[in-house]
Structure 1
């Protein structure tokens, strides 16, 4: 990306008629001027990132079992060594942090876009201020923009930091710095790469489970079409196979039933740690303002949904709340109080 501070950089085009100017620049840039002092450790692995890796371990083991079973079949039928597929799968995790792969994920999975010249001209000095306060080399990361009307930001893969165009157009520079500092906290704490690797290595096991579940649903539907006796026999045989599998795998599949809730709980803790990271850099008040605005928007959306549903409150159930990846806004605002 071109550096807007470079005198060789072309002048920014005038804003189109009728467009609103960005919020006033209220950020103190004294940390980003002059010589920058980078911390010796640019990234780490905090307790939440380590917890994520541990919780993803059962899914990774199940994926390895699935791949070994497939490899055994390939070895018997085609003569392919059984260790080839698991080895390729293990090494494939490194590709997730390859810059071209990250760009592909940003463009096609997260629907992010490269910032336009005027967007980059606004984001670049804010990002330099945030990373200067954190002692982090901001050039390690790439800034992206999502064309969305939501107030949000993203930390993804190994080097992606994204922000929505709505946030870019409506937040002040200090508020933008607050949410960027929050996302930087996810990167420096190891939350992003640990969850990415965990999801990737658990993918074969999840795909196998979905295939088995789909086959069982079709089999039960087919059996019930003929007679209830065939359905009962199929369910009985399936139960025996399930018990036998659990015994052979020492009950490991049962752990997979509760790990999504534990991973979600650790993810909520990671959000609170990222909030603390932003607050520790001096953006507590600005981050609290953004969270308050998001809370108000959520409340208005819920009231609108209640009106549309005839007064019925569309609050999520207990299991849905346990699977939430972010804490509720009152909890996040309460945790920020010591920094205000």
Structure 2
């Protein structure tokens, strides 16, 4: 699913590197970019990414004391050394955790302070499922190798919109001609490279579908470790929180008369998480839930 973004970025990086630095140096730059993905498996780089980008931090001593027994129980059930992965904390409200790169498991302060150890263990088991399933590192590599193409698209869009806006301040006719010229170039490129363009257009929907399936597989991993009942309770807790938020939004709508925007069908297809009801149905089918 990440291949179209990688192909577009590779073509861009190779073209710019060879054009600006020559064939020899240019292909060395391309090789360095290709090898840079290995940093996703480099622990110091993982920690830097988790701190600077994901805004996670090492746990305080009391947080470490809270996390370690729970994490050791989860990893013992999975037959994995606890030190294989590193626990970090995110200062954030809401019951949540995240699997980052290859060895980082992050958990929110809310989860540490407000949920019982059994529920915390289920959440951590879910994140361990992302790691053992390869979801986290594959997603990070896909994002990294698609980044040059994404940056180029954003810069090109801003420049094109800015150029049309400036032209419109000069003359509406000039702006119209410029818009038609840019649109013609875009259509021409799309027709010339239609397999790549079509793949780039549909890839986000397939990636979102894959992400939703990975959440269900991580739930299956937690259930296989014996945390299906606890994971079910966690999801019911999240479902109750969302219901309360919808009630507050409905009350605000009655007071202001302003109806909140509802996501469309295409937006829902881009969701990276399945609905709580779908996850609950999958978990409730697990034999241990009825025990």
Q: Could you tell me the TM-score, scaled by structure 2's length?
A: 0.92
1:125 to 61, 65, 69: 69
The answer to whether the 8 A contact 2:40-2:137 is kept is no
Q: What SS does structure 2 have at the residue aligned with 1:83?
A: helix
Identify unmatched segments of 5+ residues in structure 1. Answer: 1-54
Counterpart of 2:237?
293
Q: Work out which of the residue numbers 17, 24, 29 in structure 2 matches 1:71.
A: 17
CA distance in 1, matches of 2:277, 2:260: 19
Q: 1:103 aligns with which of 47, 58, 62?
A: 47
TM-score if structure 1 supplies the norm length?
A: 0.79
- 1:268–1:327: 8 Å Cα contact kept in structure 2? yes
Q: Which residue pairs with 1:252 in the alignment?
A: 196
Provide the C-alpha distance between the structure 1 equivalents of 2:71 and 2:236, rounded to a whole number of angstroms: 23
Alignment partner, residue 151 of structure 2:
207
Q: Which runs of 4+ in 1 moved over 4 A?
A: none
In the alignment, does 2:88 pair up with 1:88? no
1:137 to 63, 70, 81: 81
RMSD between aligned residues = 1.6
C-alpha separation in 2, matches of 1:239 and 1:162: 44
- 1:189-237, CA deviations, whole angstroms, 9 ceiling, x for partnerless residues? 0000100000000000000000110111011112222223222322222
Alpha-carbon distance between aligned partners in 2 of 1:116 and 1:81, rounded to the nearest angstrom: 46
Partner of 2:225: 281
Quote the residue 1:174 is aligned against. Answer: 118
Equivalent residues of 2:208, 2:269 under 8 A apart: yes
Residue in structure 2 matching 1:309, options 233, 253, 259: 253
- Alignment partner of 2:166: what SS? helix
After TM superposition, the structure 1 stretch with the greater mean CA deviation from structure 2, 55-64 or 133-142, is 133-142
How many angstroms apart in 1 are the aligned matches of 2:28 and 2:192? 24
Does 1:330 find its partner at 2:274? no
| C-alpha contact 2:41 2:101 (8 A) present in aligned 1 | yes
Larger Rg belongs to = 1
Structure with the largest fraction of helix: 2
Q: Is the 8 A contact 1:74 1:80 kept in 2?
A: no
SS in structure 2 of the partner of residue 151 of structure 1: coil
Identify unmatched segments of 5+ residues in structure 2.
none
Q: 1:158 aligns with which of 88, 102, 107?
A: 102
Could you tell me whether the CA contact under 8 Å between 1:305 and 1:314 is conserved in 2? Answer: no
Aligned pair count? 284
Deviations 1:274-297 (A, max 9, x none): 001101111111001011011111
